[in-house]
Amino acid sequence: MDCAPAGSCGNGWHTVPVRNDSTMNRPLIIAAVVLGVVSTGITYWLLSRAAGSPEQRLVKVVRAKRELPLGTVLRSEDLEVGPVRMATATRDALRSPADAIGRATTQDLPAGTVLTRAHVAPAPAAPSYTVEGGMRAFIIAVEAQVGAARLVRPGDRIDILYMGVDSKAAQVLAQNIRVIELPDAKIAGKGEGKATATPEGKANLVVEVTPDEAACLFAAHTTGVLSVALRNRSDTVPVLVEPVLAPPAAASEEPQAPPERPRDAEPRSSQPNREPGPRDVAPPLPVPRPAPVESVSSPMTPGKRVTVIRGTDRQVVDVEE
């Protein structure tokens, strides 16, 4: 430190001692640097601890928000996105709800299940019809050549008739039944057209019935034949119809074979053509043969001939004298 002698200088100013502060600030600078390094290290350690190892990291996946039965077409309210550990999340886990919405589940999924690509599949095409609550859709095969099966269109109302194989009575099983689809017409490319007969002569109709009517139709289908009558769509009042017996002429009875006639009495024209084979031949009747005739001759005379007759043979014999 430089000091001027006390007193005044030549110019009239007093001298003041000057202090050097660089040696005093050096510890503070060193402390600030150390503090900065320590804080940086602590921050890095905290960040690395929060990130953790790859097994401890969290990823967002799509989970089932509720229990999802098989075949459920997924909507946004059925799903939720939540974090799970990367170690528990498979590679095919869905990461976005958009990957699942509109698709159908391939199995029953409990709530909270992490959805994977194996859990969903393209949803089947929605049917062109709807079934009212408490009703059932049931397919019946009816006679295509008898009744009004070929006139029926989706939305029509029909009566279903039944006739058992063993019974000879026809009855009305169900009335005012709504036809909701014609599957064979769609297969044939006819859209919503009329019913198409199958090779077996049947027409398949999808009808809307109650559970009791469905059971009745199933039993009738296995024991007899079904036919339909077309109703007016505005006519919904059921009518009491008594069973109707088939007339004797229409009864399907097999004709009885005529009684078998004796072989000798059966005419040749009525005998069926048979393959050639040994024929039954009656033994020939014995032909009566004439009794032997003894040769008759006059008293033998020299140089005469005698005629001998044996049956149908004649022989002339010379007789010596």
pLDDT tens for each residue of 17-49: 555 555 667 777 888 888 888 888 888 777 766
What was the pLDDT predicted at 147? 82
Looking at the DSSP bridge assignments, the partners of residue 310 are: 313
281: confidence class by pLDDT, cuts 50, 70, 90: very low
Domain 56-122 listed as CATH 3.40.50.80: no
Whether pLDDT at 83 is above 60: yes
What was the pLDDT predicted at 162? 92
Sign of the CA dihedral running 220, 224, 230, 232: negative
Q: Residue ranges of the domains in the chain?
A: 56-122, 136-249
pLDDT digits (tens, 9 = 90+) for 94-111: 989 999 999 999 999 999
Sign of the CA dihedral running 187, 190, 195, 200: negative
Q: How many beta carbons lie within 10 A of that of residue 44, not counting itself?
A: 10
Query: DSSP letters along 199-219, please?
Result: TTSEEEEEEEE-HHHHHHHHH
Whether pLDDT at 131 is above 80: yes
pLDDT digits (tens, 9 = 90+) for 226-247: 999 999 888 888 888 888 887 7
pTM score over 0.75: no
Highest mean pLDDT among 21-35, 86-100, 151-165: 151-165
Q: What long-range pairs does 231-238 form, CB within 8 A, spacing at least 24? A: 231/156, 231/157, 231/158, 231/159, 231/175, 231/176, 232/157, 233/155, 233/156, 233/157, 235/157, 235/176, 236/157, 236/176, 237/176, 238/175, 238/176
**Alpha helices, DSSP H only, in the chain?**
22-51, 183-187, 211-223
197: confidence class by pLDDT, cuts 50, 70, 90: low
Whether pLDDT at 16 is above 90: no
